[in-house]
Amino acid sequence: MKFLEKINRNYLIPFSLVLIVVTFTGYFLLRSIIISQAKERLISKEYLVEEQIKKGGELPNLPPVLEVQKSDREPEVDSLIRNVTIRNEKEQEDELFLEYSVKRNIAGSWYIIKLRQSSFENEDLIIILAIAVFILLTSAFFILYLSARRMNRTVWSAFERNLREIENYSFRAGCDISLVNSDIEEFKRLNSVITDFINKLKTDYTTLKVFTENASHELQTPLSAALMHLEEILQKDINEDVFQRVVMVMNSLKRLTALNQNLLLLAKIENMQFEAGSDIILNEVFLRKIKEFTPVFDEKKLELDVQSEGNFVIRMNEYLSEILVSNLLSNAVRHNREEGMIRIVIRPDFLYICNTGQENSLTNETIFNRFVSGNPKTAGLGLEIVRKICEIHNLHISYSKNSLHCFTITKLKSGT
Amino acid sequence: MKVLIVEDEAELLTSIGNFLSGEKYICDLAENYSRADEKLSMYEYDIILLDITLPDGNGLELLKQIKEYQKKAGIIIISAKNSLDDKIQGLDLGADDYITKPFYLSELNARIKALLRRKHFDGTDILAFNEITVDTESKFVTVNGNEVILTKKEYDLLLFFMINKNRVLTKEAIAEHLWNDNADLSDTFNFIYTHMNNLRKKIKMAGGHDYIKTLYGMGYKFTDQ
């Protein structure tokens, strides 16, 4: 829910309640005021009628509004105000009146004076006033709502722009973040907090990046030096035992080097240190890598079946795309048997690579894990790297086995 | 042949230097940018081994200078495996080859020889070892003057041996030379064994000696001693 929506919703509910309450209270209040005023008016008119009678002459009579009756003896009626219904002969309908009837003794004669006022007039007035109150309040609220919306556009525009800036910000670009300043105190504080936060993260990020790169370089150098020394020792006149040990140490160091390189690669992928690059057609990467792998396929007499049914295009760093494909191919070769086969099917939304191979106990859950390897010779980082690359590119990878071992890469809909 | 080695790690620098001196190259060593710059302004080199990461400057800058002032020199970049950008940039800037650390000295030797052949430095096209002759230009192999037909892998293997004659080569070094990064993918040692046997047979059939000595089942040496 957007901020303004939330605010408006919070406005709207109490306002509707207030509107109903105020309208109804207003209605009843007005009604009682108007009726009591009508009564007062009737009473004051009655004095005028009395004066008229005292002056003598013809009795005033104006039905249904005014009726005066002369009585010989004292009438039993008391003075009272009530509602009466009187038949209007002209319009053939009953009309409601407020009636004030009173007895008066004027110059020795008794009179019954009845004064009436149409209730419809009162009711109409009350309803009109209530509607007026309702319209007034509603329009006041509407104006408030519109002005809030306009204010939102101006007040929040800086906020929105900053939000977009932060969304699009990348440490890798190496540039500083520039936030639009606002004259609102809270936004100012938010900006300064975010700027500080990003600067700190940027420093940490750079430190980590430099560390990763340095660690790579620093480890490679002693490993290289050690290997060179051992290679030179092999050239000396040494006995079988020493020879074998030196070769074994060299092989261990080689594995250590590979492990170091793969761990650093993983760290770099996890730290998102690879620029997104451009749109890569994986079909082409596969073709290129297959060409590179051909000698190995030939040695193992592997049958290759490639079905390219439309381009699988993905925005990816070129180096990572090569790592992805070559790790998948390596895996398909390494765990294959002699004279086995590799099948690769590529479609626009998904691709899979299947190979013949030995039975293993690995499942979709465990196969991608770090250091889980079906083969004691390898460290089991290759598929972990594949999964990491897929993860950061919104791809889903899964493993299944029936007669073939298959890895399927599917494009995920963005946002899922 | 004059070689300049630019490498900031003293241990690597001397190791490579000693090895190449042993291979009859005249070696100049530079452990940083300024030393390398100084050497480059004074002497001409046939081969320059260049580490990109230097403490006092970027090796890529040095590369630009070399391309400008030492047009004849062949350049091999020594790079760390993870810095792909350096590799690509280096080749773009005109390096002839790259080798990633760690590498076998015998591999470095093969790369330098290959580069010298590509650059056609004084008659390096013909490689001879007693009765075996290899014309690297036409890939023509003769034993006692008789032509021997070799597969690509057998040819690569023979060339690698001849370049590194009298040197002990481990199976791993050979596998890496023949299959590069994919050496660890499959049973490469069996494949080496097959190729090696075929090579031996073909040379013997043409009347040549078997110069390939097996060392304790873990390495090989191409030698007539």
In the DSSP assignment, the letter for residue B184 is G
pLDDT digits (tens, 9 = 90+) for B181-190: 776 666 677 7
β-sheet bridge partners, residue B140: B135
Provide, as residue numbers in chain A, all residues whose Cβ is less than 8 Å from the Cβ of B80.
216-217, 220
Chain A hits for B81, Cβ within 8 Å: 216, 220, 261
Chain A: give the shortest CA distance to residue B224, in Å. Answer: 15
d(CA A283, CA A192): 47
Whole-number pLDDT of residue A91: 76
Q: Which long-range contacts (CB under 8 A, 24 or more apart) does A319-323 make?
A: A319/A274, A319/B84, A320/A269, A320/A274, A320/A277, A320/A389, A321/A277, A321/A280, A321/A282, A321/A285, A322/A285, A322/A288, A322/A289, A323/A265, A323/A385, A323/A389
The 3-state DSSP composition of chain A as helix, strand, coil percent (nearest 5) reads: 55, 20, 25
Contact B106/A at CB under 8 A: yes
Number of other CB atoms surrounding residue A340 within 10 Å: 18
**Taking the CA atoms of chain B, what radius of gyration do you get in angstroms?**
19
* Residues of chain A contacting B170 with CB distance shorter than 8 Å: 231, 234, 247, 250
pLDDT digits (tens, 9 = 90+) for B121-173: 666 688 889 999 999 888 899 999 899 999 998 999 999 999 999 999 998 89
Check if A247 contacts B (Cβ < 8 Å): yes
Distance CA B208, CA B131 (A): 7
Candidates A234, A238, A300, A373, partner chain B, best to mutate (most B CBs within 10 A): A234
pLDDT given for residue A303 in this prediction: 93
| Closest in A261, A296, A377 to B82, CB measured | A261
Q: Which positions ≥6 away from A66 have C-beta within 8 Å?
A: A49, A60, A113, A114, A115, A116
Does the distance separating the beta carbons of A223 and B102 come in below 8 Å? Answer: yes
Q: Which of residues 37-56 of B touch A (CB under 8 A)?
A: 53
Residues paired with A102 in a beta bridge: A113
Of A225, A235, A265, which is closest to B15 when you measure between CB atoms?
A225
Name the 3-class secondary structure at B6: strand
Whether residues B104 and A378 touch (CB distance < 8 A) is answered with: no
Cis amide leading into A295 (omega within 30): no
Which of A296, A319, A377 has the CB atom closest to B84's CB atom? A319
**What per-residue confidence (pLDDT) applies to B58?**
80
Judged by a CB distance cut-off of 8 A, whether residue B101 touches chain A is: yes
Give contacts of A 43-102 with B, CB under 8 A. none
Show pLDDT as tens, one digit a residue, over chain A (416 residues): 777 778 777 878 888 888 888 888 888 888 888 888 888 888 888 888 888 888 877 777 777 788 888 877 777 777 788 888 888 777 788 888 888 888 888 878 888 888 888 877 777 888 888 888 889 888 988 898 888 888 877 877 888 888 888 888 877 666 777 888 878 888 889 888 988 888 888 888 878 777 876 777 678 888 889 999 999 999 998 999 999 999 999 989 988 888 888 888 887 887 777 877 789 999 999 999 998 888 888 888 899 999 999 999 999 988 889 889 989 998 888 888 889 999 999 999 999 999 998 777 677 777 777 666 655 556 678 888 899 899 888 899 999 888 889 999 999 876 44
CB-based contact B216 A268, cutoff 8 Å: no
Minimum Cα–Cα distance from B17: chain A residue: A228
In this structure, what is the dihedral angle of CA atoms A138, A142, A143, A149, given to the nearest 10 degrees? Answer: 160
Q: How far is CA A330 from the centre of its chain?
A: 42
Q: Exposed, middle or buried: residue A154 (CB in 10 Å: 0-12, 13-18, 19+)? A: exposed
The reply to whether A379 touches chain B by the CB within 8 Å rule is: no
Among the partner residues B9, B186, B188, nearest to A225 by beta-carbon distance:
B9
Distances (CA, A) of B105 to B47, B137, B162, B207: 15, 24, 15, 32
The CATH H-level superfamily of A278-411 is Histidine kinase-like ATPase, C-terminal domain (3.30.565.10)
> What pLDDT is stored for residue A361 in this prediction?
66
Closest CA to A351 of A393, A292, A299: A393
Q: Quote the pLDDT of residue A416.
A: 41
ipTM confidence score: 0.88
3 state DSSP class of A335: coil
Q: Does A252 contact chain B (CB < 8 Å)?
A: no
DSSP for A204-241, written as a single string: HHHHHHHHHHHHHHHHHHHHHHHHHHHHHHHHS---HH
User: Is A238 touching B (CB cutoff 8 A)?
Assistant: no
A377 touches chain B (CB under 8 A): yes
Q: Which of A212, A216, A217 to mutate to test the interface with B (most CBs of B within 10 A)?
A: A217
The CB-based long-range contact list for A173-181 (8 Å cut-off, 24+ gap) reads none
Q: Where are the domains of chain A?
A: 3-138, 185-270, 278-411
B106 and A231 in contact by Cβ < 8 A? yes
Please list the residues that pair with A84 across neighbouring strands. A97
Alpha-carbon torsion (A367, A368, A369, A372), positive or negative: positive
Any A CB within 8 A of B89 CB: no
Please give the full DSSP string across A83-130, using - where no structure is assigned.
EEEEEETTTTEEEEEEEEEEEEEETTEEEEEEEEEEHHHHHHHHHHHH
pLDDT at B71: 79
Min Cα–Cα distance to chain A from B45, Å: 24
The answer to whether B189 contacts chain A (CB < 8 Å) is: no
pLDDT tens track for B32-83 = 999 998 998 889 999 999 988 788 878 888 888 888 888 788 999 987 655 5
Six-digit token pair at A345?
């099917």
DSSP string across A62-87: BTTTEEEEEESS--SPPPEEEEEEEE
When the pLDDT of each residue in chain B is averaged and rounded to a whole number, the result is 87
Q: Which residue of A has its CA nearest to B191?
A: A299
Which of A220, A247, A299 lies closest to B170 in CB terms? A247
On whether the CB atoms of residues A220 and B83 are closer than 8 A, the answer is: no
Which tokens is A394 given? 């919104």
Confidence (pLDDT) at A353: 94
